[in-house]
Amino acid sequence: MHLFEFVPVSQLVEGEPRHRRSIYRSAYLDIRVREELAKGTYDYDLVVIGGGSAGLACAKEAVLNGARVACLDFVKPTPTLGTKWGVGGTCVNVGCIPKKLMHQASLLGEAVHEAAAYGWNVDDKIKPDWSKLVQSVQNHIKSVNWVTRVDLRDKKVEYINGLGSFVDAHTMLAKLKSSERTITAQNFVIAVGGRPRYPDIPGAVEHGITSDDLFSLDREPGKTLVVGAGYIGLECAGFLKGLGYEPTVMVRSIVLRGFDQQMAELVASSMEERGIPFLRKSVPLSVEKQDDGKLLVKYKNTETGEEAEELFDTVLWAIGRKGLVEDLNLSNAGVSVQKDKIPVDSQETTNVPNIYAVGDIIYGKPELTPVAVLAGRLLARRLYGGATQRMDYNDVATTVFTPLEYACVGLSEEDAVKQYGEDEVEVFHGYYKPTEFFIPQKSVRYCYLKAVAERHGDQRVYGLHYLGPVAGEVIQGFAAALKSGLTVNTLMNTVGIHPTTAEEFTRLSITKRSGLDPTPASCCS
Ligand code: FAD
Ligand code: NDP
C-alpha cells in the first residue's frame, strides 16, 4: 500500500513548509486519482471554458497541481464591424491592455506639451497618428496572443479553439472551425466572461460600436458620443480627448455608480475642465446614418422629457457588459443563472457540485482582471492542490484611468456611513499640489484625496480615495496596508517620500467634520 495514503486530506494545511505541502499534495492527488478511477474515466480532470484572465490562470494552476486540463476559448465577431481576436480574453485583447496603452498615448501627448514649459524645444504641430497607434497596440496584442499559446503548450494545458456548450454535467460539445468534438471531464470551470451590451433602440447595432471595436478601429474616431458614464465610458472619453478627438459623455443617471460619489463628481468635473461635455440625465433614442456618413443621434432628457439631436462621427456604447451564458446550454447541465450571470457559493461552486465559475461571469462580484486571476488560481489549488484558501472579494483596489486618474480601496464615504452611522465615521481629506504640475501650470483644482476611517477607538481606515497622477501606483501599496488593518495613527506616523503625491496620505490632518479649509498653503511643510 502507498505510504501517502495515510495522510488525511484534513491535514493539507496552508502554512506548512513547502516540502511537506508537496508531500500532502501528492497524497491528495494519489487518493483523488484512485477515487476517480473507481468512478470511471473522463477525457480530462478539468475542462475550463474560456481562455481569458480567469480561465487561463485556473487551467495553468490546475496542471501545476497535477490535473489533466483542457481550455476552450472562442471569440464571436462583433455585430457591427465583425472584429475578433485571439486567445487571452477581454483584458489582453479589448480591455485593460489596449485601454492602458491608449491612455498612455494620450498622457504622452499631454507630456509633450508640458515638456515645452520644462525647456524642451517641441514642435507645436505635434499630433497623433491614429492608424499608427492602432497598429502598435494591435502588434503588442498579437505578441501576447502568441506568448499565451506557447505558454499553454509548455504548461501542458490543451488549448481548444472551440465554442463550448454543455451536453450534461460531465459532457461538453466543442464547436470547432469545421467540426465538432465531444469532451468529458470530472469538473468544469465556467470562465466565459462577458461582452458589451447594446441599447434596444433603432440603429444601435448597425451604426454604434463598443470597446470591442474601438482599439482596432480602422479610421479616426472623430467626434464621438460615448454613451455610459461607468469605467469604460469615462476612460474611453478621456483618452479620445487626449488624442485630439471630441468626445461627449452621455450620462443616464449618475457618474461612476458604486464609487464614492464625491470622488466620482470630481472625476467628471476634471474631465469637463478639459473640455469634455457631459450630457446629464440623458438617454439615446435612435441613431441614423446620414448620406455623408455622419451619425445623427436623437436623445432625450429623462427629467424634462425634452428631446434633442446632434451629429457625430462615432457612437460608442459603454453601457455595461452581459455575461456570455447563452451559448453554454447551461440547462443541460442544470446550472442556475441569475441576470445573465452565474451565482456561486464562497468556493465558486455553482448549484451543480462538479461545475464551478470564476471571473466576470459570476454574479455580484467585481469585474476586474486581478480578481479573475486570483479567484481562478485559488479555485485550482483547492480542487487539485489540497488547499483551503478562498477568494476574498472585499477591499479590492481599483483605478479608473481617466486623464486625472482615480484609484480607491475599501469603502466609499457613503457606504461607510451606511454601515457604521454618520457619528462613527471620520473623513480626513485634503487638496494637494503635485510638484510637477507647477512649471507647466497644470490645474491642481481636482487633486484631492481622503481617508474614510473609524471615528473612535483604533481609528481603523475603512477606505482610501485618491484623485491625481499615477493613481493605481499610489493606491496599490496602501491596499496591502488597508488589508492588514491600517489605522489613522499608523498612517500619520508613516514617513512620506518627498516630493511625491502618495506622501499626501501621510499628511492628512483635516477632518471634514472640522469644517477647516482642506486646501494646502505650501507644498513642503
Ligand atoms: P474574459 O477575459 O472575457 O474571458 C472569457 C473568454 O471566454 C473570452 O475569450 C470569450 O470569448 C470566451 N468564451 C465565451 N464563451 C465561450 C464559450 N461558450 N466557449 C468557449 N469560449 C468562450 N480590469 C482591470 O482590472 N483593469 C482594467 O484596467 C480594466 N480595463 C478594462 C477595459 C475595458 C474596455 C474592458 C471591457 C474591461 C476592462 N477590465 C479591466 C475588466 C477585465 O478585462 C475583466 O474583468 C477580465 O478580462 C475578466 O476575465 P474573465 O476571464 O472572467 O473573462
Ligand atoms: P458600468 O456598469 O461600469 O457602467 C455602465 C454605464 O452605462 C453606467 O453609467 C449606466 O448608467 C449606463 N447605462 C446602462 N444602461 C444604459 C442605457 N440603456 N442607456 C444609457 N446608459 C446606460 O459598465 P462598463 O461597461 O463601463 O464597465 C463594465 C465593467 O468592466 C466594470 O464594472 C469594470 O469592472 C470593468 N472595467 C474595469 C476597468 C478598470 O479597472 N479600470 C475599466 C473598464 C472596465 P446607470 O448608472 O444609470 O445604470
Nearest to 242 by CA among 331, 68, 111: 111
* pLDDT tens readout for residues 425-442: 999 999 999 999 999 999
Going from the C-alpha of 344 to that of each of 229, 356, 362, 506, the distances in angstroms are 28, 7, 7, 39
| Same domain membership, residue 117 and residue 23 | no
Confidence grade of residue 525 (pLDDT, cut at 50, 70, 90) = low
- How confident is the model at residue 40, as a pLDDT? 57
Determine, yes or no, domain membership for 525: no
Residue 82: inside a domain: no
Catalytic residue among 2, 19, 140, 498: 498
Q: Please check the confidence at residue 30 and state whether its pLDDT lies above 80.
A: no
Per-residue pLDDT tens over the stretch 455-503:
999 999 999 999 999 999 999 999 999 999 999 999 999 999 999 999 9
Each as own residue / partner, the long-range contacts of residues 3-12 (CB below 8 Å, 24 or more positions apart, any chain) are 4/30, 4/31, 5/30, 5/31, 9/386, 12/386, 12/387, 12/388
Domain count, the chain: 4
Write out the H or E segment, with its range, that includes residue 399. strand 398-400
Whether residue 7 has pLDDT greater than 80 = no
Span 108-137, mean pLDDT? 93
Please state, for a pLDDT cut of 90, what percent of the chain lies above it. 90
Q: What is the DSSP string of 235-270?
A: HHHHHHHHTT-EEEEE-SS-SSTTS-HHHHHHHHHH
Q: Please give the backbone phi and psi of residue 430, each rounded to the nearest 5 degrees, phi first.
A: -175, 150
C-beta of 399 in contact with ligand 2 (< 6 A): yes
Same domain, 309 and 242: yes
CA torsion angle 92 52 22 67 (round to 10): -140
Question: HSE-up of 122 (CA within 13 Å, CB side)?
Answer: 17
For 290, the 3-state DSSP assignment is coil
Rg (CA), the chain: 25
* pLDDT for position 11: 39
**CATH number of domain containing 424:** 3.30.390.30
Q: Judge contact between 388 and 65, C-beta under 8 A.
A: no
Query: Alpha-carbon distance 191 to 200, whole Å?
Result: 27
Residues 314 and 225 in one domain: yes
Domain boundary among 372, 394, 416: 394
Residues 325 and 315 in one domain: no
Contact partners, residue 3, CB within 8 Å, separation at least 6: none
> Residue 1 belongs to what domain range?
1-38
Separation between Cα atoms, residue 70 and residue 524, nearest integer Å = 57
Res. 16: pLDDT tops 60? no
- What mean pLDDT is predicted for residues 94-111? 97
* CB-based contact 252:302 (threshold 8 Å): yes
Any domain includes 516: no
Residue 143 lies in a domain: no
Digit-coded pLDDT (tens) for 200-236 = 999 999 999 999 999 999 999 999 999 999 999 999 9
Residue 10 is assigned to a structural domain of this protein? yes
Active site residue 2: no
Q: How many CB atoms lie within 10 A of CB 409?
A: 24
Same domain assignment for residues 462 and 472? yes
Q: Same domain, yes or no, for 415 and 279?
A: no
Same domain for 124 and 250: yes
Per the prediction, the chain carries an average pLDDT of 93
Over range 123-137, report the average pLDDT.
92
Indicate if ligand 2 lies below 6 Å from the C-beta of 211: no
223 occurs within a structural domain: yes
Return the pLDDT at 523. 66
pLDDT > 70: percent of the chain: 92
Element (H, E) at 488: helix 488-492
- Closest C-alpha residue for ligand 2 atom 11: 252
Ligand 2 in contact with 368 (CB < 6 A)?
yes
> Which residue among 275, 300, 319 closes a domain?
319
DSSP 124: T
Residues 121 and 170 in one domain: no
Ligand 1 pocket, residue 51 CB under 6 Å: yes
| Domain membership flag for residue 465 | yes
Identify the nearest ligand to the CA of 279 by its number.
2
What gap in Å lies between CA 59 and CA 43, rounded to an integer? 15
Distance 475 CA to ligand 1 centre (A): 23
Average pLDDT on 259-267 reads 98
Contact 239, 324 (CB under 8 A): no
Are 301 and 358 contained in the same domain?
Answer: no
Q: What integer is the mean pLDDT of 440-459?
A: 97
Same domain, 341 and 388: yes
| Ligand 1 pocket, mutate which of 74, 90, 319 (most atoms under 8 A from CB) | 90
Kindly report whether the peptide bond that precedes residue 8 is cis, defined as omega within 30 degrees of 0: no
Q: Say yes or no: 306 and 328 in one domain.
A: no
> Which among 192, 330, 335, 470 is the best mutation to test ligand 1's pocket, defined by most ligand atoms within 8 Å of the CB?
192
In a domain, 515, yes or no: no
The pLDDT of residue 257 is: 97
User: In Å, how far are 35, 115, 228, 378, 385 from 388, measured between CA atoms?
Assistant: 20, 52, 40, 8, 9
pLDDT of residue 125: 79
Beta partners for residue 196, in sequence order: 321
pLDDT for 373 equals: 98
pLDDT grade for 38, boundaries at 50, 70 and 90: very low
pLDDT tens track for 311-369: 999 999 999 999 999 999 999 999 999 999 999 999 999 999 999 999 999 999 999 99
Q: What is the pLDDT of residues 266-288, one digit of tens each?
A: 999 999 999 999 999 999 999 99
Domain end position, chosen among 375, 394, 413: 394
Q: Note whether 192 and 49 are within 8 A (CB).
A: yes
Phi, psi of 40 (to 5 degrees): 120, 165
Q: Is residue 435 lining ligand 2, measured as CB closer than 6 Å? A: no
Alpha helices in 14-72 (DSSP H): 18-39, 53-64
The DSSP bridge partners found for residue 159 are 71
Q: Band of the pLDDT at 265, cuts 50, 70, 90?
A: very high
Query: Do the beta carbons of residue 190 and residue 47 sit within 8 Å?
Result: no
Q: Which of 5, 18, 161, 133 has its CA nearest to residue 76? A: 161
pLDDT above 90 (res 422): yes
Query: Residue 15: what pLDDT?
Result: 42
| CATH code (residue 233) | 3.50.50.60
Q: Are 485 and 351 members of one domain?
A: no
369 lines ligand 1 (CB under 6 A): yes
